[in-house]
Chain A
């Protein structure tokens, strides 16, 4: 017991220190690394609390994917925070203090930690989940039973939230043909200007600056050929590190295999569709980080990726509609195998977990792709 308390105290202290450091840092790459650390610390806390499903999710999302997405976003913008004038800080500070005070006020009457007779533990709902789920659903992992069946509709809602992210990010970052054409025409004009102007205005400082600007833009920007060249150039740099190259190639099959294990073993141990999808996506993201997005695109072209995003939601919600057609309520898996509700539950959970996995993986890859692709052509 005392060891657990010691672990809790030290983890919370580290988390607090990390959070404070993040607020103080101006360099955003460093801050991103610290958020990854904060994710890892939270995941460790969840492990101490025996919430393994949440711990896997937090480790995969908080430490893995979201860090990569932050970095991908930082590459498109500045990597240093602008200094906010001190007089504009007080309003945010006041809100933070008020929020902390309210939480402390609430904490006085919260049930004591880890007691067996708290309202949550004694509530009949918890009793149902812990005891009757074995007969109702027959899945050893109670968390999976609650998430996928008792509160399966919430999980569908959460999947739709992820799907929404998968729709909105490409919607915002999509490079439409019209804009791409305009940019290309623009780049072409500027290139031509850049070619002629220095000849006439050679010598003056203004002219030199001007041509340098144009040259840089021309070199880095637009033009499918140039973009592709630039992309492959960056990929070469990354994959030149032998350790990175070998390690990522060796890890890749294991990551994908582990994702499948987490998906199909979710009924028995910690894990499930969500965690599996994130791990699967992490494999692809790792590969594209080292070898370039172009290599991933050869395996999984953009239209296929965007096409997979809605498939999982359709599978999940479609199963619910099928249940209705079979005479049950929405998402009543009992109806899948008439006479054997337990088997029906088993198939139902497998189908929806697969749906969750497909959409989560596709959304995360599509979101990463939207960022990376924009970066490659800038």
Chain B
């Protein structure tokens, strides 16, 4: 049975989605989503253990040998992302039972869980596949279900946010498809490994150059790299709480993984970073993202919008890491993908509890919540310190590794921007803490305890972020393994 794990971890969530629609019971649908996420996590963990010593697992779909057939390739570059997505899926599943019941009309809930299952399927499928076109197919599954999930937000503005996300996201997906199509036209293959083998012979081909540009711009939209981030604030802030937790921690991260896979595993670092100025473009955009998005976050009056703008800035850190194209830089990028996903998941979980109990997440509504909701506030403080990068939190570790990578490459200007952006993040996290602790609400109201499952999921994510800060060996080894596979391939 273990031979089928690469397929099963995607097929189980895939089967859960139609079952949710068919059985149309709220409880069963929730159980199916939870079971699918747990099963995917188990599969991913076993796979991680199997590839830990550098082995690569190939799984030929339909029994057809690649490149004629589609294959799944599990190596140390994608298991960290698989574990991350599945684990966040489990946390979101635990979290969403109470949260969804409060936010969405009962008759929509089974279909809603079907969308969550589909989203999970898509994310895992993109990560596991070794076929360029197959990655696009699963990107479509993820995108379509994300649009619907965002549109389920409690305010009418969610519909507008979802529509914006739909238009921009569709353009991004189309660009990826055009890029893959051009690469196919000049090689005749869609298998990533086969492409990587054939492409070096035709470096300098203008169609190939355009293919790189299309795939990268398309994925830059999907991962909300500045200045293509327009869809993100509305999508994260207006979506239902559980969806914010899940999407913020996984969607952009998987797009980043796919970009890394295309850069190192398909087009090749020699083309992308050697012949094309992706390093320079990436670093400039990353610096702009860190500065502008952090600055905008400082002026937000809504906690969820603040977190969303901070996410755009954090994408900047990750892009700065892998743009260096050094092994240290890619390690830093992977580490920050993991750490930021956990931290941002925890913060959006806390924001969801705030919305549930206080009715809105405006900073003015949060005045005095340090006294009325002490535990939730404590979680916000702990995760917020991680976001700033105060030692000994997870955010500190990944920023430190990133700073080391920048110093090793002699990018002092980027390092300076990193420091300024961290100071700005201190400002915006400080504003939240100031609102919650130092300001008093006009009338003191007793706030009911949040549902146990929601706070359990939030605390699990907060604790993981603390553990990753205190004992960073495991995530660091995952990130180093990934970068050795990706950058090692290029050399």
Task: List A residues at the B interface (Cβ < 8 Å).
Answer: 102-103, 105-111, 118-126, 128-129, 149-154, 156-158, 160-161, 163-165, 167-168, 170-172, 174, 176-179, 306-307, 309-311, 313-314, 317-318, 320-321, 324, 328-334
Contact = CB atoms under 8 A, between A and B. Distances in A.
Given A157-B141, A177-B107, A119 B18 contact: no
B401 to A, nearest CB: 35
A310 B147 contact: no
B108 A171 contact: yes
B309 interface: no
Contacts of A118: 185, 188
Contacts of A318: 15
16 contacts: A118-B185, A123-B189, A150-B64, A152-B62, A153-B61, A154-B70, A154-B134, A156-B14, A164-B148, A167-B145, A168-B148, A176-B105, A176-B108, A177-B107, A179-B105, A324-B7
B107 to A, nearest CB: 5
- Majority secondary structure of chain B interface residues (helix, strand, loop or mixed): helix
A109 B207 contact: yes
Contact of A330 (B62, B108, B207, B214): B62
Given A102-B213, A317-B14, A125 B189 contact: yes
Interface in B197-225: 198, 205-211, 213-214
- Majority secondary structure of chain A interface residues (helix, strand, loop or mixed): helix
Of B17, B19, B64, B185, the most chain A CB neighbours within 10 A belong to B64
B63 interface: yes
A330 B59 CA distance: 9
Q: List 10 A-B pairs, minimum CB-CB distance, nearest first.
A: A123-B188, A310-B18, A106-B210, A157-B137, A332-B63, A168-B148, A120-B188, A109-B206, A153-B61, A330-B7
Nearest to A171: B111
A1 to B, nearest CB: 22
Contacts of B112: 171
A119 B186 CA distance: 6
A369 to B, nearest CB: 15
B144 A161 contact: yes
A329 B185 CA distance: 29
Contacts of B4: 324, 329-330
A61 to B, nearest CB: 15
B21 A306 contact: yes
Of B140, B144, B152, the most chain A CB neighbours within 10 A belong to B144
B185 A163 contact: no
Contacts of B148: 164, 167-168, 171-172
Contact of A160 (B121, B131, B187): B121
A125 B188 contact: yes
A121 B290 CA distance: 46
B212 to A, nearest CB: 10
Contact of A161 (B22, B61, B137): B137
A126 B185 CA distance: 12
A127 B92 CA distance: 46
A110 B185 contact: yes
A314 B15 contact: yes
Contacts of A317: 11, 14-15, 18
A179 B28 CA distance: 24
Interface string B1-36: 000100100010011011101100000000000000
